Chain A
Amino acid sequence: MQKTKKIDELEVGQELPPLDLPITATLVAGGALASRDYTPVHHDRDAANAQGLPDMFMNILTTQGLCSRYVTDWAGPDAIVTRVRTKLGGPNMPGDLLKIRGKVVSTEGKDADVEVSGNNAWGNHVTATFTLRLP
């Protein structure tokens, strides 16, 4: 099993490996339904069009789930997420390439804050700060 990072292995400013994630209709709809979010704009293009957007767009829980995966894939299975602060930006839609980047922004005791950004052709989709407790 992957080893979990220790707090003294982290440095403020350290970058996580980048992840470029192609967004598909299946991912948007699949993520929404996996989070039990049946709001039509997350699985029905016509409903999104009626709100002025060209396509169905990702719900917040899916975005957070993807970012959480990104952070713990890097930190390891024993890193515990204790807090997530999310700033929401533009939409994320099928055909977009979501560029997920992360860096360590602070450490204190066994806790580290990792700032994750997700950008696509529309600009910033999400900026989320994950607080991790490391073993």
Chain B
Amino acid sequence: MSDEKKKALEAQIRAFVGKPVGPVVVGRDPVNEPMIRQWCDAMGETHPAYLDADAAKKTVHGEIVAPPTMLQAWVMEGWAMHEGYDEPKNEQHRLHKVLADNGYTGVLGTNTEENYTRYLRLGETVKALTVIDSISEEKATGVGIGYFITTKTTFENQDGEDLGSMSFRVLRFKPANAQAAASKEGESKATAQKPSRIKPPMGHDNGWWWEKVASDGVIPIQRCTSCQKLRHPPRPMCDACGSQGFDAIAASGRATVHTFTVIHYPQFPGYEYPIVSIIVDLEEGERMASTLVDCKPEDVSIGMAVEAVIHEDEDGFKIPFFRPAAR
């Protein structure tokens, strides 16, 4: 986009800042017990002040109140939302349409902040006014360049009493990923895949090792067919005699912890944290890196006896782990 075009776009979107999204929204129903009960059912909520008039009297509230995080629910549009909005219905939609028409087709909720002045009581009608509060400079983000749009909603009851406020921030972005862009245009519907363990590279020198783990359910140790020396991790040539001939033996699985570290951060999807990452001394003498399972991080120690277990991920990938040895 040329500088001039961008300037014009930014002038156009900045004109929305400070504008109310639309008229004040008045909750269709006053705060009522049936809607509170339905909410509590779904949330697994058993709070006495939300559900039981007698018990509520014994709490700091003194009467039935609505769950605080339900505040926005009282002014949600409800059924009409299922129709979506191809044609913009309010200022917020118009702002989003301007950006979408300029290639910022992606939208992602990023942050909210709710302040609850007090809990809502039965019979109160909630009124909400939402204003387009701010639009950021253009930012480079992990999903593409875009603008953060913050709306601010203030909530009052029928008498104008302050009930709280909410800020909601969304990112409107140009999808960096071409596939995502294509799917927006309906050309290909890329479906997100559940993240799983990052697979090790499996090449000519080590692929056989992973295949053996999967097919035989053992930890293979590479052995030189010329001088019988064991080696791990797998590599093409014996460091003792230089031979490239090899076969493998199955490790007994008995080992001791040589050293360890506990990984808390960074957390990648597809793994369970914390991870107790270990280097073990195999009974056969070789050393290998692995993960210790069925053991709390505070219980691992150098020298502890462990035994191998072949772990299988949800996607069928098999990998040797260790667990504390049975006594």
Q: Which residues of A contact B (CB under 8 A)?
A: 1, 4, 27, 30-31, 33-40, 49-50, 52-54, 60-62, 64-69, 72-73, 77-78, 80-88, 90-91, 119, 121-124, 135
Contact = CB atoms under 8 A, between A and B. Distances in A.
B189 A38 contact: no
A68 B68 contact: yes
- Candidate in B69, B73, B113 with the most chain A CB atoms within 10 angstroms: B69
A122 B42 contact: no
B237 to A, nearest CB: 40
Interface string B219-242: 000000000000000000000000
Given A38-B77, A38-B78, A80-B119, 7 more contacts: A34-B43, A37-B81, A40-B84, A52-B183, A66-B43, A88-B110, A88-B112
7 contacts: A52-B190, A65-B39, A68-B67, A81-B68, A82-B116, A83-B113, A123-B195
Interface in B116-136: 116, 119
Interface in B43-83: 43-49, 55, 58-60, 67-70, 72-73, 76-82
B192 A77 contact: no
Contacts of B194: 54, 121-122
Contacts of B192: 52-54, 91
A52 B119 contact: no
B45 A69 contact: yes
A131 B70 CA distance: 16
Contacts, number: 148
A91 B195 CA distance: 12
Contacts of B76: 35-37
Given A54-B194, A121-B269, A65 B43 contact: yes
Task: Provide the main secondary structure of the chain B interface.
Answer: mixed
Contacts of A54: 191-194
A61 B166 CA distance: 12
A1 B47 CA distance: 10
B81 A35 contact: no
A78 B60 contact: yes
Contact of A81 (B44, B69, B77): B69
Interface in B297-316: none
Task: Provide the main secondary structure of the chain A interface.
Answer: mixed
Contacts of B43: 31, 34, 62, 65-66, 68-69
B298 to A, nearest CB: 13
A55 to B, nearest CB: 10
B187 interface: no
B317 interface: no
Contacts of A40: 82, 84
Contact of B189 (A33, A37, A50): A50
A87 B111 contact: yes
Contact of A35 (B73, B82, B108, B270): B73
Given A83-B115, A87-B111, A31 B42 contact: yes
B42 A62 contact: yes
Interface string B191-216: 11111000000000000000000000
Contacts of B270: 121, 123
A123 B269 contact: yes
Contacts of A33: 38, 42
Contacts of B84: 39-40
A63 to B, nearest CB: 9
Nearest to B190: A52
B112 A39 contact: no
B267 interface: yes
B115 A82 contact: yes
Contact of B39 (A35, A49, A81, A119): A35
Interface string B101-114: 00000001111111
Given A69-B44, A121-B194, A38 B79 contact: yes
A62 B44 CA distance: 11
